[in-house]
Amino acid sequence: MTPFRKNLIDGEWVGDAGSRNINPSNLDDVVGEYASGDAEQARQAIAAAKAAFPAWSRSGLLARHAVLRKASDEITARKDEIGRALAREEGKTLVEGVGETVRAAQIFDFFAGEALRLSGEQVPSVRPGVGVEITREAVGVVGIITPWNFPIAIPAWKIAPALAYGNTIVFKPAELVPESAWTIVDILHRAGLPKGVLNLVMGKGSVVGQAMLDSPDLNAITFTGSVGTGKRVAAASVEHMRKFQLEMGGKNPLVVLDDADLAVAVDCAINGAYFSTGQRCTASSRLVVTDGIHDRFVDAMKDRLAKLVVGDALDAKTQIGPVVDQSQLKQDEDYIAIGRQEGADLAFGGERLDRETRGFYLQPALFTQATNAMRISREEIFGPVANVIRVKDYDEALAVANDTPFGLTSGICTSSLKHATHFKRNSEAGMVMVNLPTAGVDFHVPFGGRKGSSYGPREQGRYAAEFYTTVKTAYTFAG
């Protein structure tokens, strides 16, 4: 039996016409049907969030704490079921699906605590007898637009701080993964949020998302997705003078130096480039390898790639699930063809795979003989495709790593303290990893990048307050 999930607007579940959610591991499996909202529903949701804001922003801290705490507890209690549904709709493996669900619970737990830790500053004025208070207040109605690759973690890391700091929300998830989005909203709704505080409008980006961008009543928008849509969010937000935050693509380098522990380097590269089917903005898509270790590294990568189990996300043996949908698969295959045309050597994989069920299965691909000037090294592919770029030494490796329009994460595998330290200081990325995969971050510390990867304040941890609050400076003359 496939469920029909509705949108939540002003505390009511609404919507009739729906769109189908298909399992990328098995195209005959329909996960459910979901309301597909229109621009009018988006406007109603924004109006409801605006009406709910004064009371919610002045609500007691315990009310916010309680809702976030309850949500964390329910997600934890249901982690296997929710993680399975996530793996079914997105195609990441069960382990990754459950892990991401646990991460969402941890994020709600963290921000339940943050709701109780709001603080400000009190400082003397330069004028005798005057006191100055610096406090943080909620921004207002926050629009949340999310992508498909982390169906529960990204909504959690935007919704939890928005609520903790007293904002109200209009949430538009990606069309491909509505089940995880609906589940998180259902849990928060039942946890006791007043009507209108959190509104869910599933539907098309060009319709619901665009109506959000065009609204003068959204005070802030937080967006994760493609560079193209991010630029639209930016332009529309400037037009309305609203706060905005963008997390977009990456073309993250993993540098492997001659003195690296080969096993560590291969583990980092396999995990960073291919886990979650390479569909992470923090994925390592450029493997920048020095001469002395290059051939051993490539051989070891090919050995490991040959052993990776690509299959149905719900099969416990699977290590790499399918690509998320037909259009992403086409993009991956197009880039594999482009890489060959550009003269890179397809050293492993890249072909479609048949499995018991019809699904978007792709053998993870490794290019060697790639240069940093090739399109496959400059443009985000967002699939299980990585390029080895051969360099002569550390200095060239650093230059290549930084020569990119993006700047989300970077990594280095080395046993040299000197090079590790120099790389941490000079890598032009928001997050730098030493002897660790470029993907895989903690939830209590800032997340975000530089250059074309990100815009605006960091997400997650205490740094989230920067976006979800606005600072007030109050002066008092008490005589």
Q: Is 281 a catalytic residue?
A: yes
Q: Which stretch binds ligand ADP (CB under 6 A): 100-108, 193-201, 226-234, 430-438?
A: 226-234
User: In the structure encoding, which two tokens stand for residue 284, read together?
Assistant: 């390592």
The distance of closest approach from Cβ of residue 279 to ligand ADP in the complex, given in angstroms and rounded to an integer, is 9
Q: Which is nearer to ligand ADP, 331 or 469 (CB)?
A: 331
Query: Which CB sits closer to ligand ADP, 146 or 454?
Result: 146
Most distant CA pair in the chain: distance in Å? 81
3-state DSSP assignment of residue 178 = helix
Quickly tell me which residue has 């994020």 as its tokens: 107
Catalytic residue among 247, 333, 459, 466: 247
- Kindly report the number of other CB atoms within 10 A of residue 78's CB atom: 16
Query: Sheet of 385-391: strands edge to edge?
Result: 345-348, 365-370, 385-391, 284-290, 252-256, 409-413, 431-434
Q: How many residues in total does the chain contain?
A: 479
Choice between 106 and 252, CB closer to ligand ADP: 252
Nearest to 318 by CA among 475, 91, 152, 166: 91
In terms of CB distance, is 166 or 230 closer to ligand ADP?
230
The SS3 of residue 143 is strand
Q: Which is nearer to ligand ADP, 210 or 435 (CB)?
A: 210
**Contact at 8 Å (CB) between 207 and 41?**
no
Mask of contacts with ligand ADP, 417-446, x by CB under 6 A? ------------------------------
| Closer of 187 and 324 to ligand ADP (Cβ) | 324
d(CA 111, CA 103): 12
The answer to whether residue 146 forms part of the interface with ligand ADP (CB under 6 A) is: yes
Contact in structure between 292 and 260 (CB atoms under 8 Å): no
Least distance CB 325 / ligand ADP (angstroms): 9
Q: If you count DSSP H runs as helices and E runs as strands, how many of each does the chain have, helices first? A: 15, 21
How many Cβ atoms sit within 10 Å of the Cβ of residue 17? Answer: 9
Candidates 74, 114, 268, 281; catalytic one: 281
The rounded radius of gyration (Å) of the Cα atoms in the chain is 23
Which residue do the tokens 């890489």 mark?
339
Q: Which residue has the tokens 């189990």?
A: 309
H-type helices in 240-325, by residue range? 262-274, 291-307
Residue 235's CB is within 10 A of a number of other CB atoms, namely: 11
Q: Which 231-290 positions form the footprint of ligand ADP (CB under 6 A)?
A: 232
Residue of the chain from 225, 249, 311, 364 that contacts ligand ADP (CB under 6 A): 225
Nearer to ligand ADP, 147 or 411 (CB): 147
- Alpha-carbon span 283 to 437, nearest angstrom: 8
State phi, psi for 185 to the nearest 5 degrees.
-70, -40
What is the closest distance, in whole angstroms, from the C-beta atom of residue 260 to ligand ADP in the complex?
32
Which listed residue (59, 76, 226, 319) binds ligand ADP by CB under 6 A? 226
With CB under 6 A as the rule, give the number of residues binding ligand ADP: 16
247 counts as catalytic: yes
Q: Which of 147, 161, 250, 364 binds ligand ADP (CB under 6 A)?
A: 147
Q: What is d(CA 50, CA 387) in angstroms, rounded to the nearest whole number? A: 48
CB of 135 to ligand ADP, least distance (A): 32
Minimum distance, C-beta of residue 236 to ligand ADP, in the bound complex (Å): 8
229 is an interface residue for ligand ADP by CB under 6 A? yes
Nearest CB to ligand ADP, comparing residues 98 and 324 = 324
Query: To the nearest whole angstrom, how small is the minimum distance from the Cβ of residue 176 to ligand ADP?
Result: 7
- Extract the tokens encoding 273: 């480039």
163 lines the binding site for ligand ADP (CB under 6 A): no
Residue of 9, 45, 52, 145 interacting with ligand ADP (CB under 6 A): 145
Closest separation in Å from C-beta 132 to ligand ADP? 40
- Strand partners of residue 474: 133
For residue 282, give both structure tokens. Answer: 């923090």
Closest approach of Cβ 209 to ligand ADP, in Å? 2
The 195-224 contact track toward ligand ADP, x by CB under 6 A, reads: ----------xx--xx--x-----------
Dist CA 90 CA 6 (whole Å): 20
Residue numbers annotated as active site? 247, 281
Contact footprint for ligand ADP (CB under 6 A) = 145-148, 172, 174-175, 205-206, 209-210, 213, 225-226, 229, 232
